[in-house]
Amino acid sequence: MKGRVGGPIIQDKLHAKLAVALTNHDGINRNSFTGRRDGDTESLAWRGALTFTPSDDLTLTLTADGKLDRPDTSKSPIRETPLLAFPDAFTAPDVPVILPPNDDPFVVDTNANGLNDLTSFGFTLKADWQISQDWSLESISAYRKMDFDLVLDTDGSPLPVLDISLFQDQWQVSQELRASYDNGKGFTFTGGVFYFHDSDLTLSGFDAQAGALPAFGLPLALFSPNSQLADTDQRTDSIAVFGQSTIDLTDTLSLELGLRYTYDEKSSRRRFELFAPDIRVAQDFPPFLAGFGTPLNTISGKEDWDALTPKIALSYAPRDTLLYYASVSRGFKSGGFDGRGSTEFEFQPFSPEKVWTFEGGVKSSWLDNRLAVNGTYFYSRYRDLQVTSFGRDAETGFFQSLFSNAAAARIQGVEFELAARPIDRLSINATVGFMDAEYKEFITLVNGVPEDVSDRDLINSPKWNASLGATWEQPVGNGLLGVFHVDGAYRGDVANEITDSPILRQDEYILLNAFISVKSDDAGWELRAGGKNITGREIRVQGFNLAEFPGVETAFFSNRRSWDLRLFYHF
């Protein structure tokens, strides 16, 4: 259910608006182990704004928003491969059992999926001051806070093979000042400064047993059940100075120049505590460093990075309905520390991600705006692309998460869009795209041994994708319109995780959606019945290759076929 209301409180001086969205539905999966639904949704989100205009040249806007998620469960992964586990590993090691893959991607059997709570709140104060006809000043002040609690059965089984818990408390503040100049004669300039601070305190834990380690020829005695908590404190400070200008070289040709300097400083500290086998941190939630476990090592680090990122763009518009454009820019994503690392090696800072991007294309409108055709070519060359991989620590034999940099990657492709209204009652939209995305230089650790994985496809990068949709509107009398809409989307096969496991790879598919509705011709209300994923395709949207530890590959699937009835009312 969604609702929105707004209007003036004091005419021409104070305006308010509020939007609220309430979502409540059962999970798409069923948990055969607990008998409950899995991955349900119970969410309340809101957003409000007050706009105050004390004078013609000053506007103040205060925006606040919040979200509250309180589902009964977290969404659990599906086992795609068999899992070797020990039913009594945490109390008395017994004969291992082999759990087969799940038969149904919408039926799970997991033991730890009872928590997935999110609370977030933020506000932004924006001030716009028109200093003169040419100059304006803008200030944007923002604050945001988030609390997130999660328990997740990573191995997707009814046994405590690899269960994790996460309790995150994060807040951030930012301030931006921008000055803009427009002489009304084809020259504009915007320059400013930006400051950002982020603080993240996270208590995370996991329960793990040896699982499939014997399959690697390792003795069971070396790998007893392991429960750990980690307390992580990460801080980020970022400062940027930027400027951008647009110059009309002629009536039809414009040049855009931009430059940004960014300085980031990050620090991180992690402390660890080991617990006895009879304490399961993902279920018992023991307090940290309160005498219930054995304190382990502390790891910490501090690093800073900076970057200069330019942009140059040209646009040529020989007429109002035709635009050619091209741009070259450099992007930068700061380095950092892996908040899941547990050793000095894993906690080494990863490098910033840098990219040069070229984009060129055309936007056009034809037949009195009844037909729009757009085309784009893009090319991006990455250095030190940031990636995440999972495996087994070669020394301890337990789960290892490694956030690292691929030396180089390349993405290039073309996209075409079409929007047409051949007759008044019919509108058509279509897209088609081709993309070539692969690692060019990348050596990562597999079972503790370096392996060259260059020329593998990047995650979630299908070579081909396309869509086609049509909407028909038909008057049905008495001020009513009937609407029928159908759309389909094609997506080529994709890798869902960095190792590109054939088990976790998603094959090409076509997704179909449709709805039929009746609405008032003034758009005051609409009653709609529709279906999504009408053909019932089973689509993997995320995969985790945990074959090294604990010896299983798991995946998440998108929603199954669904039907809905909606009522829209505008006032």
Per-residue pLDDT of 535-569, as tens digits, reads 999 999 999 998 887 889 999 999 999 999 999 88
Per-residue pLDDT of 325-378, as tens digits, reads 999 999 999 999 987 777 777 788 999 999 999 999 999 999 999 999 999 999
**The pTM is what?**
0.89
Task: Write the CATH number for 421.
Answer: 2.40.170.20
Beta bridge partners of 361: 325, 376
- Total of domains in the chain: 1
Contact yes or no for 105/538 (Cβ under 8 A):
yes
Domain holding 418, by residue range, is 354-570
Separation CA 148–CA 545 (nearest Å)? 25
Question: 79: which 2 tokens?
Answer: 């086992």
Q: Has residue 445 been placed in a domain?
A: yes
Q: Has residue 175 been placed in a domain?
A: no
User: What share of residues in the chain are helix, strand, coil (percent, to 5)?
Assistant: 0, 65, 30
Q: Has residue 559 been placed in a domain?
A: yes
Q: Has residue 561 been placed in a domain?
A: yes
Q: Has residue 38 been placed in a domain?
A: no
As a whole-number percent, the residues of the chain with pLDDT over 70 amount to 92
Three-state DSSP class for 28? Answer: coil
How many contiguous H segments (helices) and E segments (strands) does the chain have?
1, 31
Q: Has residue 89 been placed in a domain?
A: no
Contact yes or no for 169/150 (Cβ under 8 A):
no
Which pLDDT does position 404 carry in this prediction?
78
Separation CA 397–CA 281 (nearest Å)? 20
Q: Has residue 6 been placed in a domain?
A: no
Compute CA 144 distance to the chain's CA centroid, rounded to the nearest angstrom. Answer: 18
pLDDT in tens, the chain (571 residues): 888 899 999 999 999 999 999 999 888 889 999 888 888 999 999 999 999 999 999 999 999 999 999 998 888 899 999 998 877 655 555 577 889 999 999 999 998 888 899 999 999 999 999 999 999 999 999 999 999 999 999 899 998 888 889 999 999 999 999 999 999 999 999 999 999 999 999 999 888 875 444 333 333 333 446 788 999 999 999 999 999 999 999 999 999 999 999 999 999 999 999 888 778 888 888 888 888 888 988 999 999 999 999 999 999 999 999 999 999 999 999 999 987 777 777 788 999 999 999 999 999 999 999 999 999 999 999 999 988 777 666 555 556 667 778 889 999 999 999 999 999 999 999 999 999 999 998 887 665 667 788 888 899 999 999 999 999 999 998 899 999 999 999 999 999 998 889 999 999 999 999 999 999 988 789 999 999 999 999 999 999 998 887 889 999 999 999 999 999 887 7
Q: Whose CA is closest to 336, among 317, 318, 351?
A: 351
Q: Has residue 518 been placed in a domain?
A: yes
